[in-house]
Structure formats: C-alpha cells, structure tokens
Amino acid sequence: MNTKIEKELRELIEAQVISPEVSQNIAQYYANKSTETPNRLFTIFGVLGSLLVGLGILLILAHNWDNFSKMTKTVWAFIPLVVGQIAVGYSLFVKKSSLWKEASATFLFFAIGSSISLVSQIYNIPDSMASFLLSWIVLAAPLLYLLKSHTVAILHLIFVTAYACNIGYANSGQPWWYLAMLAYILPFYYQRFKANPSANMTTIYHWLLPLSTIICLGTFIESNDTFGMVMYVSLFGLFYNIGKLPFFNEKRLRINGYLILGSLGTTVTLLISSFRWFWEESDSMSMAISEILIVITLGILALVALIKNVKSNLKQEFNLFQIAFLAFAFIYAISSFDIITPWIATNVLVFALGIFAMRIGSQKNRFSILNYGLLIIAVLIACRFFDTDISFVMRGILFISMGAGFFLANYIMYRKQQ
Amino acid sequence: MNKLLFGIGFIVMLLLQWSLPGKMIFDQQLAVNQGIPYKFKTEPIDPSDPFRGKYVWLNYEIGSFISNDTIWPHGADLYVYLETGEDGFAKVSQISKKELNIELDYVKTKVDYAFKKEVHFSLPFDRFYMEESKAFEAEIAMASANQVQRQQNQEPTSICYALVYINGGTTRLEDVFINDVSIIEVVLQNREKEKTTIN
C-alpha cells in the first residue's frame, strides 16, 4: 500500500477523526485494490511486448536472408507460427489468465502474418497487398472467439479497415469482404456490450466500429460524389439514432461515439453540400446499383433506430439531427429537376441544425453543445463567402455580429446557470 | 461437450493456419517438379512492401496481344497461352477469356485495358524478393549495363530475363538473370569490383 495513505491514516487516528478499525478497513481496501491494478498493468505490458516482438519478427524476416537455403528459410517461416500456437494452446487449456490469453493471441496474430509473408517472399508469390491482408485476417479470425481477446478484436478492426482502404482507395475496387469481416466481429461486440456495457474496452469498440465504417464507406462510392454524400448522410443518420437509443443516451457523452460521430459527420457532410458548385457538378441520375442498395439498407436501419427511439420515449422533443438524413434524401431527389432549390434547402437545413444544437445546449445547460451550434452557423456563414458576392464591409459586419453572438449566447447561459 | 467442441475448434484453427502457407509451398514445388521453364524478357525496378520486404518489380516486354474480339472489360479474367520463340524467350501464342482445352501452357491474369484490338495485361509474377541491400543495387546494375550501349547509340546488348516455371496455371518465378548470370550474383560481382577499385 502507498506510504502516503498509511501516513494519512496514522494522522487521522491521532486526531481521532477515524477509529483504528476504520483505518484498518481502509488499509485493507487499498491493499486489495493494489493487487488488482498490477494485473491489469501486466496484461497491457504483456500485449505491448507481444505486439512489438511480433512486429519485430515480421521486419527481421522482411530483410530476406539470402545466405540461407530455401529449406532453412521455409523452416524459419513456421517457427514463430508454432511458438504462437503452443502459447495459445497453453493459455487456452492450462493457464487461463487474461494476460496469457491476450499476449499469446497477439503474438500468434503477427506470427500468422510473418509466416504467410515469408513463404510469399521465398517463393516470389505474386499476391497483392489486399489478398495478403485478407488471408491474414481470415486465418487469425478464430482467435477472436476462441480466446475472446480484445487485442485481436482491435487488430481485426484495424486490419479490415486497411484491407478495405487498399482495395477501395488504392485500387478502385469494392471491398465486399470488408462487410463480411465486419459482420464477423459484431456478435463479439454484442457479447461484450451485454456482459460489460460500461467497461473501457467496450467504449473503445463504441468508437472504433463507427470510425472504421466511416473510413471505409467511401470505398463503395462508384458513380459520383454527390450520391456518395447521400450514403454518408444516411450512415451518420444511423449513427446519430443509435447514439440516441436509451442505453447510450443515458450514459456520459464521451462513451457515445455513435452520437458524436453521427452529429459531427452530418454537419460536416451537409456543410460540404451547402456549396453551390456541389450541386452544379452533381449528376443526380448516375448511381450504381450497389450504391442504391447501400443507401436503402442504411436508410432502413436508421429509420428502425429512429422508430425505436420515438417508441421508447414518446415525450422526447423533436430533434432535427435525428431526421436530417431523411431531409437530405428529399433534397437530393429534387436536384434532378433544379439545382438552386436543393442548394438553398441544404443551407436552410444546416442553419436549422445550428439553431437546434444551440437550443439543446440551452435546455441542458451545456456550454459545449451551445457553442457547437454557434460554430455550425459561423462556419456556414464563412463558407458562403466563397460562393456569394458580398461586399467587404458587409462581410466584416457579419463577422462582428457572429462574434457578438458568441459572447451574448454564452453570457446568457452563464447568467442562467447563476 | 462444449470442451470437446472447443478443442476441435482449436485444432481446426491450427490446421487452417498451417494449410495456407503449406499449400503455397506445395503448389510452388509442384510447378518446379512438373512445370516447364520459360524465359521472359524484363526490366527490374526496386520497390518495397511493408511486410514482405524489398523486391525488384519486373516490367515484362510481354504486356499486350492483338485480338479480333473487341469486348475485353477491365478486370476480366484473361488466359495468356505461351510458347517459346526462336530466340529462346517466351512469347504469347493466343489469349482467351476462358481456359482452353489445348496443349499449351498458360498464365491466368486480368485485362488491364483494350484499345484498337490490342488487349493490355500484366503478367502476375512481377515480384522478385531480394535481400534488402541488394534490390536497389540490382536495379542499378541493369540500368548501367544498358546505359553504356545507349550512350554509344547502340541497341542494349545486356539481356535481362526472368526464369519462370509454369505448370497448369501455377507459376513460380525462380530467378532473374542479366546475361545468363543470376541477378544476385551480378550484385555480388559488382561489390567485389568496387572493393578491388578502392584497394
């Protein structure tokens, strides 16, 4: 136990603030707590160690030791794999601590990669980066459920995202296997969510899963960027509505990755769409079947989450962020007839979102949300300077008004809190 | 029962993790044992892979073929049938969208693009992995071998080619040669020459 606490306890007994029994109980509590903490620390260091050793082996093998014969190199390709498999077997059947499970699973994850990469290297096998990553992910996937390893789950998410980016952004294909690999991790996520909803690890998944999806959705955009925006706004609409479900809504904002990413994503995509050139360059009739299917699926899922939200809390006030994706879909539909109306409508929508955010901030007495709303309006006005012809004096007056608005709104809120 | 399933799952996972690299090695060995060696004229360029290390990327002379068929969509499967030419190097005999029931060896690849009856493609065995310090030197060796000829307005006489075994669509890139000397040997010879010049 910490000597500082012991000293404090002695002082408290001498000053007769607490009895010796209470002091003993407190000492016992800290003694128990300190035996738990090193365990968690050991797990973190164990995982970090395995991660670094695994990556180190990969790099050493990448050197390509051409002084060795093919046979020697082939044997070397399998040694890390065998060591990893033995360690995993040992953690599964003999030593069942989470430290062993996490560390051995992490090591085996990289050993699989090093064995495939070394065989490819020895025999000059012409695999693309994407198929190499996919083989690696698939072979390591069982570790997720056999060892219930969080590190493997995080590595799985990082690697499937890298795989999708490689296919979609570097090679202009569509990474359909990404969806299968993402679906593969969902039961694990759900189990963690049910078993330990407030754990830090579960919070990491609440952020990583939506982040991975946001990064990879762009790889499915085939025809035009305007329809890509519809895809993204639908995804953000889904995330926002998930974030508003009773479980997330009652929790602290920092664990609600869905709500924050959904709100920020909706605002940013709509701000991009608020430029006139965006609608002038759009070809609303050109869209691929796969894109339409993605929008329909995301739209239906977002609607289901919205209905669930409405049903669970009938008294809750109308929130524009929750239906912004439907409004944008309607605006996009109009764009096939006219470009001015959708341009103006998008600006009105962003402005209304800013007002709504300010209103929510004022109702909840939260400075952060109030200023978020003000920021949306400020950025919208700043953006309009690029595609509208307004005199410098007028622009100056507008900026001063915006600044004054920030001061005034925050001051009113401050007075309200007093 | 659960323990039994768990154990079976674990063993299946181990076997799967062995099976992919194992199959890769088996196919490659079969290509050498039963396949026919072909020489492909090429030019090496040295890039790097974050996991698999440095390699020379091989830019082959064979890269297109004239076809009467005009519909060759980008990314479609392509079977390139090969034969050995009079100069001893591989040349394309014919191309097809499907596997043909003929005696010739083939390489399976994808259509890059088609323009005016000319179908463009890339041969898949385009990576020759080398020890990290030698990949760049290999590229320099090839470039400088040809440069001397080009400066004297002559056609390059140094011939760089890849030796590839082909067996039923499986290919194994065995080695890359500059004037019949293995590229690794060329790099080592150049290092020796440099040492004697310095001494």
| Number of independent structural domains in chain A | 2
Tally A–B CB contacts below 8 A. 95
Boundary of a domain, candidates B122, B145, B169: B122
Shared domain for B37 and B113, answered yes or no, is no
Chain B residues with CB-CB distance to A88 below 8 A: 10
How many Å apart are CA A123 and CA A67, to the nearest integer?
15
Phi, psi of B85 (to 5 degrees): -80, 180
Shared domain for B76 and B109, answered yes or no, is yes
Q: Does the residue B22 lie in any domain?
A: no
Strand partners, A179: none
Strand partners, B171: B166
Task: Report the alpha-carbon angle B63-B68-B74, nearest 5.
Answer: 50
| Number of independent structural domains in chain B | 2
Q: Which of B28, B51, B183 to mutate to test the interface with A (most CBs of A within 10 A)?
A: B51
Confidence (pLDDT) at B148: 57
* CB within 8 Å: B132 and A119: no
Confidence (pLDDT) at B145: 64
Shared domain for A143 and A202, answered yes or no, is yes
pLDDT band at B146 (very low <50, low <70, confident <90, very high): low
Which among B20, B124, B134 has the least Cβ separation from residue A135? B20
Which among A62, A126, A139 has the least Cβ separation from residue B16? A139
Q: Give the pTM.
A: 0.79
Shared domain for B86 and B52, answered yes or no, is no
Q: Is the pLDDT of residue B43 over 80?
A: no
Read off the tokens for B72.
């060759």
Shared domain for B196 and B142, answered yes or no, is yes
Q: Does the residue B153 lie in any domain?
A: yes
Shared domain for A83 and A143, answered yes or no, is no
Shared domain for B190 and B141, answered yes or no, is yes
b/e sequence A19-58, b meaning 16+ C-beta within 10 Å: eeeebeebeeeeeeeeeeeeeeeebeebbeebbebbeebb
* Radius of gyration (C-alpha) of chain B in whole angstroms: 21
Confidence (pLDDT) at A33: 66
Shared domain for B96 and B146, answered yes or no, is no
Q: Does the residue A246 lie in any domain?
A: no
**CA proximity to B93, closest of B101, B105, B75, B81:** B81
> What single DSSP character describes residue A317?
P
Question: Which of A129-133, A202-206, B50-54, B81-85 comes out lowest in average pLDDT?
Answer: B50-54
Residues whose CB falls within 8 Å of the CB of residue A283, separated by 6 or more in sequence, listed in order: A223, A224, A226
Read off the tokens for A331.
């605006």
Which among B9, B75, B131 has the least Cβ separation from residue A146? B9
* CB within 8 Å: B13 and A115: no
* CB within 8 Å: A132 and B52: yes
Shared domain for A131 and A112, answered yes or no, is no
Residues whose CB falls within 8 Å of the CB of residue A332, separated by 6 or more in sequence, listed in order: A226, A227, A229, A230, A284, A342
Nearest CA in chain A to B20: A116
Please name the residue that has the structure tokens 């570097």. Answer: A170
Q: Which parts of A91-159 are beta strand (E)?
A: none
Nearest CA in chain A to B163: A124
Q: Which of A123, A129, A139 to mutate to test the interface with B (most CBs of B within 10 A)?
A: A123
Which among B14, B21, B125 has the least Cβ separation from residue A119? B21
Shared domain for A76 and A148, answered yes or no, is no
B24 touches chain A (CB under 8 A): yes
Confidence (pLDDT) at B149: 54
Confidence (pLDDT) at B53: 80
B52 touches chain A (CB under 8 A): yes
Shared domain for A113 and A140, answered yes or no, is no
How many Å apart are CA A101 and CA A92, to the nearest integer?
7
CA B99 distance to own-chain centroid? 21
> What single DSSP character describes residue B56?
E
* Segment A28-69, tens digit of pLDDT: 887 776 555 556 667 777 778 877 887 787 777 777 777 778
pLDDT band at B152 (very low <50, low <70, confident <90, very high): low
Q: Does the residue A115 lie in any domain?
A: yes
Shared domain for B55 and B135, answered yes or no, is yes
How many Å apart are CA A418 and CA B6, to the nearest integer?
61
Confidence (pLDDT) at A318: 73
Shared domain for A110 and A19, answered yes or no, is yes
Domain span holding position A213: 127-220
3 state SS of B166: strand
Q: Which of B129, B174, B184 to mutate to test the interface with A (most CBs of A within 10 A)?
A: B129
Boundary of a domain, candidates A190, A220, A250: A220
Q: Does the residue B16 lie in any domain?
A: no
Chain B residues with CB-CB distance to A113 below 8 A: 51
Distance in angstroms between the alpha carbons of the first and the last residue of chain B = 74
Shared domain for A18 and A116, answered yes or no, is yes
Q: What is the ipTM of this complex?
A: 0.75
pLDDT band at B150 (very low <50, low <70, confident <90, very high): low
Confidence (pLDDT) at B92: 93
Confidence (pLDDT) at A165: 94
3 state SS of A389: coil
Helix axes of A320-334 and A225-243: crossing angle, nearest 10 degrees: 160
In order along its 418 residues, chain A shows pLDDT tens digits of 566 778 888 888 888 888 888 888 888 887 776 555 556 667 777 778 877 887 787 777 777 777 778 888 888 889 999 999 999 999 988 877 888 889 999 999 999 998 998 888 888 887 788 999 999 999 999 999 998 999 999 999 999 999 999 998 888 788 999 999 999 999 999 998 888 887 888 899 999 999 999 999 999 988 777 888 999 999 999 999 999 888 888 778 888 899 999 999 999 999 999 888 888 877 766 778 888 899 999 999 999 999 988 888 766 677 889 999 999 999 988 887 888 888 889 999 999 999 889 888 888 888 888 889 989 988 888 888 766 677 777 777 877 887 888 788 778 777 776 6
For residues A153 and B136, which has the higher predicted lDDT (pLDDT)? A153
The DSSP secondary structure of A189-255, one letter per residue, reads HHHHHHH-TTSHHHHHHHHHHHHHHHHHHGGG--S-HHHHHHHHHHHHHHHHHHHTSHHHHTS-GGG
Domain span holding position B149: 33-59+127-199
Boundary of a domain, candidates A120, A142, A176: A120
CB atoms within 10 A of CB A272: 14
Confidence (pLDDT) at A223: 72
CA A313 distance to own-chain centroid? 26
Q: Which residues of A touch B (CB under 8 A)?
A: 58, 61-66, 74, 77-78, 81, 85, 88-89, 92-93, 112-113, 115-126, 129, 132, 135, 139, 142-143, 146, 173
**CA proximity to A317, closest of A355, A360, A353, A349:** A360
Confidence (pLDDT) at A207: 94
Shared domain for A46 and A144, answered yes or no, is no
Shared domain for A114 and A152, answered yes or no, is no
Please name the residue that has the structure tokens 């399998």. Answer: A78
Nearest CA in chain B to A137: B17
* CB within 8 Å: B128 and A124: yes
Q: Does the residue A59 lie in any domain?
A: yes
